[in-house]
Structure 1
Amino acid sequence: MCPPEYFDVTYAINPWMRPEVPTDLARVHAQWEALRAVYLGLGHQVELVEPVPGLPDMVYAANGGLVVDDVAVGARFRYPQRRAEADHYLDWFRGAGMRRVHAPSYVNEGEGDFLPVGGVVLAGTGFRTEPRAHAEVAGVLGRRVLTLELVDPRFYHLDTALCVLTEDLVAYYPAAFSARSNALLQETFPGALTVSEREAVAFALNAVSDGLHVVISADAVGFASTLRDHGFIPVGVATDEIRRGGGGAKCCTLELRPAG
């Protein structure tokens, strides 16, 4: 995670960002601290990336890269406002002693568009990450990558439209994907959970699961009920002010997956 020391909404690069509306920075800090406290309370370890002045979106750590089996693939951001973040996350990966750190050749926005599940990696495209980056990540990680096309600009990253709950179960918002991608999801995950538009715009799917507890937006009460019905324990966290930049709990969380 990266503390929101310099967070603010000063430009608009997604439909959620409105620079003309003042940001409640105290509320942003309180929500981020509450999210971190939830992880610690569940017994998870939280590593911190140093925030950098002038890079307000560094708080969305998930976009900084992808880590699988101690191999880190760095990010390459589409918009110039975020490009400088990439080197800071690459430096952090190198300092953390990863088995390998790969600086990408093509635009990819980390776990924003790459979500490992089981032995494959689901990869989003349509608004940010290039399809060429999907093949690049497959080669670096040695895993099959399934391309999913996003078609609704409100869900510009895969992690806003789909979340991984267990090694063989996902939840997603069907209308965020092309017809072909919906067919692929139905074929690959026939038992998947789906959410309504109301839940999706509350960032219900920008969630983090440890296989039992699912940390979700406190506003996603319908999805929370569905999760309980399927044996999960939803943990609601207020992220409404953090969402003003276009990200929620998952966007603030880059998962570090150790080898084995």
Structure 2
Amino acid sequence: MQMLAPYPTARSPHADGSPSGNGATKNLHDSLLDVKDVVVRFGGVIALDQVSFSIPQEKVVSLIGPNGAGKTTLFNCLSRLYTPDEGEIRYLGESLLKVPAQKIAALGIGRTFQNLALFQNLSVTENIRIGMHTRTSGNVFTDALLLRASRRSIARSNASASSLVDYLGLQSVADTKVKDLPFGTQKRVELARALATEPKLLLLDEPACGLNHEEVDELGLIIQKIRQDFRLSIILVEHHMGLVMSISDHIVALNFGRRIAEGTPEEVQKHPDVVAAYLGGEAT
């Protein structure tokens, strides 16, 4: 198992020297994200039915449920790929539904995907740098002329990418094209790119999918360390119950688009509706 390197604070790309400039000071809101009575319909199918929950700051919250429960639909609402038919989603006290999808990363919401969304013919470092586009100040004119602002922005982007490469143990493959890497390493590259957006809220869509047992164990350590070092909140959609139960502070269980249980891992795994719908048995 390849352990994470300590975050290189001396080389931190953020203005305040912390792993995440956005998380250095505690926000005044008690919760980072509030989902209230969200309904999503696809024709006659109700994908989400009056779903409500809140995400505390600097916590790991997992969404669980069988296939078709509505987890990815909810993620797509948070990413603004979908717009709910009813309900409200508030982020840092403001309506998220007023924000277009292309502004979500700049707002402080990062995401990974179950099916990797990397640029296969670009290197690891180049993929990570792409995640920084919302935090750079250059434009076509200044970049073409390499003006001072553009040079500063490029230097900051390079430093950030280098820090994240070190942090996630990708030094040996930093210049390798993503298509030439094993699947588990590609997952870490996508995670690094999501962190490059400097998120306050990180959405992880089935990050353990396709990983072997050792890689899943390492992933759990990575997620916990990221939450602590970057001082952010994480929403995890995951079917690997061992991972979910070991790293979650809070769990929301969905089934057929409805919330059927919510609470600590101990509370949720004993809930009779969760046992019946997801774990495949009866509560004891």
Would you call these one fold, judging by a TM-score over 0.5? no
The structure with higher relative contact order (CA 8 Å, sep 6+) is 2
Q: TM-score, normalised by structure 2?
A: 0.28
More helix by share: 2
Structure 1 or 2, whichever has the larger Rg, is 2
